[in-house]
Amino acid sequence: MSKLSCLELFAGAGGLAKGLEMAGIQHKALVEINKNACQTLAKNYPSQLIHDLDVRSFDFNQFGHIDIISGGPPCQPFSIGGKHSGNTDQRDMFPYACKAISLCTPKAFIFENVKGLLRKSFSNYFEYILLRLTYPEVYCKESEFWQDHLIRLEKIHTSGKYNGVKYNVIFRLLDAANYGIPQRRERVFIIGIKEDLNVAWSFPKESYSLDSLLWSQFVSGDYWEKHGIKPSSIEHLDTKTQQRIQQLTQQPALFAPPSKPWQTVR
The answer to whether the beta carbons of residues 177 and 208 sit under 8 Å apart is yes
Paired with 108 in beta bridges are 68, 193
Give residue 76's pLDDT band: very low, low, confident or very high (50, 70, 90): confident
192-219 pLDDT, tens per residue?
Answer: 999 999 999 999 999 999 999 999 999 9
- Separation in Å, CA 203 to CA 49, 58, 157, 192, 195: 29, 31, 23, 12, 17
pLDDT at 148: 97
Give residue 89's pLDDT band: very low, low, confident or very high (50, 70, 90): confident
Catalytic residues: 75
Domains delineated in the chain: 5-197 (3.40.50.150), 208-261 (no CATH)
**DSSP-based three-state secondary structure for 99:** helix
pLDDT at 253: 63
Helices 239-249 and 210-218: angle between axes, nearest 10 degrees: 80
**DSSP-based three-state secondary structure for 192:** strand
Residue 230 has pLDDT above 70, yes or no: yes
117-127 pLDDT, tens per residue?
Answer: 999 999 999 99
235-248 pLDDT, tens per residue?
Answer: 989 999 999 999 98
